Amino acid sequence: MDFGLSEEHHMVQRMVRDFAVKEVAPTIQEQDRLGEMDPQVLPRMAELGILGITIPLKYGGQGMDYISLGLACEELEAVDTSLRVVISVHNGLTCLTLLQWGTEEQKNKFLVPLAQGEKIGCGAFTEPGAGSDLSHLQTTGKIDGSCYILNGEKMWISLATAADYAVVTVRTNPKASKAYQGLSTFLVDLHSPGISRGDLHGKLGVRAGSTGWIAFQDVRVPAENMIGKEGEGFKVTMSAFDSGRYTVAAGATGLIGAALDASKTYADQRKAFGEKISDLQLIKAKIARMSLDYQAARLLYLKAGWMKNKGLRNTRETSAAKWYATEASFQAASEAVQIHGAYGYSDEYPVERYLRNAKGAMIYEGSNEIQSLIQADYALERRQDKKLRKESPPYDHESWT
């Protein structure tokens, strides 16, 4: 494996970093206090091509590889998690799912405007009574002529009120011998009759991002909007999670880096007992751990990205990257608050926001408890990857351009 980054990778880093630092960082603290998403964030990300970064040019995207996607997520979350969440749900859960499982007609009709940022997408999987356990989804989809009629509710959906489309997994066959075999996935127009949605407030973190609920009451969805085949909803959803978890892992790595940078800056300025606290051994130990965790988390997500570029199944590697990076980001943010002392406990410095934001990533896109079970099953050789009907397409710059 080549550990070097190409000039294109460095270009992506610079472009995304400049956007996040210059256009978002100056106001993010106030947006977080208000609990509101800056209305200019999505249009600017679309204008810069970030919303379609890994989608082939022929489908309206930028044609860049998965390493570029990871680097973009890292740079976005170094400023605020809400920025990376946009990429996770719009690009990871929506665009890449359509790229992998969609028909040519679906790609031309839906993927093109999504990749260009003319439309916004989200993933609607979690329900009030079912999160990581997809087999207990209660939202139903019943065939009625050329349409499926959806009824149910999805909860904790990022971009719920900002999105135009949602990738929605529902139960189409309640009599299936195994519960997960009765699931199917659709791309749903969120402006359809029968859909209501709203924002959730009072969140611990990611306050500058949109999180909400979506309710379906006799919503008619054309059968042609089914992603994959009937009964393949579990496979489609799990492959979507592979993409989403990859972006979460890369973003959490950026949060570790942000906590590290903030801690180094503060420790070099703050004095105690007549010397800079950066000279104190216990502070050095905290900073050393952050530095090590940053390097390890980065290598884990870069390996997963390399495998995605090759079109290789990466469920194990992506799960490990998500698990490690999110655990490490929470620890790094906690230590950053400790290094800042009383100032870290206030929003005068960004580290308290890092800590609040870091906790969410340990829960969504499959809780870290689920990731630990996945890793245990691989280690015990009780889990093996089977070839999907449609593997994630490898990165091929020539064919994509």
Average pLDDT rounded to a whole number, residues 373-379: 96
**pLDDT in the model for residue 1:** 61
Q: What is the pTM (predicted TM-score) of this model?
A: 0.95
Count of CA atoms in the C-beta half-sphere (13 A) of 22:
7
Please give the structure tokens belonging to residue 381.
């050789």
List Cα–Cα distances, 151 to 39, 93, 173, 195, in angstroms.
30, 21, 14, 9
Q: What is the mean pLDDT of residues 294-323?
A: 96
> Can you tell me the mean pLDDT for 235-261?
97
What per-residue confidence (pLDDT) applies to 392?
Answer: 72
Cα 82 to Cα 25, 28, 41, 128, 248, distances in angstroms: 12, 10, 10, 22, 11
Cα(247)–Cα(250) distance, integer angstroms: 5
What kind of fold does domain 235-400 have according to CATH? Butyryl-CoA Dehydrogenase, subunit A; domain 3 (1.20.140)
Of all helices (H) and strands (E), which one includes residue 98? helix 96-101
Percent of the chain with pLDDT strictly greater than 90 = 91
Instruction: Tell me the pLDDT tens digit for each residue of 50-70.
Output: 999 999 999 999 999 999 999
**Per-residue confidence (pLDDT) for residue 2, from 0 to 100:** 73
- What pLDDT, on a 0 to 100 scale, did the predictor assign at position 401? 41
pLDDT value at residue 14 = 97
Confidence of residue 397 (pLDDT cuts 50, 70, 90): low
Chain segment 117-141, per-residue pLDDT in tens: 999 999 999 999 988 788 889 999 9
The model's confidence at residue 162, banded by pLDDT at 50, 70 and 90, is very high
- Write down the domain spans for the chain: 7-120, 122-233, 235-400
> Does 334 have pLDDT greater than 60?
yes
Please give, one letter per residue, the 3-state secondary structure of 222-281.
EHHHEECCCCCHHHHHHHHHHHHHHHHHHHHHHHHHHHHHHHHHHHHHCEECCEEHHHCH
In the predicted model, is pLDDT for residue 389 greater than 80?
no
Range in 133-137, 160-164, 187-191 the model is least confident about = 133-137
Q: Which of 365, 369, 381, 391 is catalytic?
A: 365
pLDDT of the residue at 382: 93
CA dihedral 12, 13, 16, 18 (to 10 degrees): -120
The domain 122-233 is classified under which CATH number: 2.60.40.1220, 2.40.110.10, 3.50.50.60, 2.160.10.10? 2.40.110.10
- The whole-number pLDDT of residue 49 equals 97
CATH architecture of 7-120: Orthogonal Bundle (1.10)
- The pLDDT of residue 77: 98
Active site residue 365: yes
The region that residue 366 occupies, defined by phi over 0 for left and psi between -120 and 50 for alpha, beta otherwise, is: left
C-alpha triplet 24, 367, 210: angle, nearest 5°: 30
What rounded mean pLDDT belongs to the chain? 95
Strand partners, 227: 185
Contact 251, 76 (CB under 8 A): yes
Average pLDDT over every residue of 329-334: 98
Residue pLDDT, tens place only, 271-300: 999 999 999 999 999 999 999 999 999 999
